[in-house]
Amino acid sequence: MNIIEGNLKLTGNEKVAIINGRFNHIITDRLVEGAADAFKRHGGNEENLDLILVPGAFEIPFALKKALDSKKYDAICCVGAVIRGATPHFDYISAEATKGIASATMDAGIPVSNGVLTTNSIEQAIERAGSKVGNKGAEAMVTIIEMLDLYKEMDK
């Protein structure tokens, strides 16, 4: 059996964007830091990394679609944080952000990751932004790094 998989390596020439929903910035700032650190640690050139800021998670799919249409990027990492409150607003925002990212990605032809946290509490968000559970922004970046390499392998 032939196994085709990607490795965690960048050449330094890849142009990558991080799209960050600023709402809950205490959490999302840490996700961006994790993603940027993962990009650099795996060989990315910081000059080829763009940070696109949008107001919140709901707006991420709109910026993602625009970034994909621009054809400027080899991969895009989406991060944000939606934390459950006392109203159903959480359910609508988290569902629409997830569906919007998935929908924009289907015909993209480039790797896109969804690092948007959907947590029940601020404590869970903190855990996923760099404490107990690791940094989900870094994980989202590592995902697109592996997928970039996998795409190259699949084209051989």
Active site amino acids: 89
Map tokens 């996923």 to a residue.
Answer: 128
Rounded to whole angstroms, the Cα distance separating 17 from 120 reads 28
Q: Report whether 101 contacts 116 (CB < 8 A).
A: yes
β-pair partners for 76: 17, 112
Residues in the chain: 156
β-pair partners for 53: 20
Q: Report whether 97 contacts 116 (CB < 8 A).
A: yes
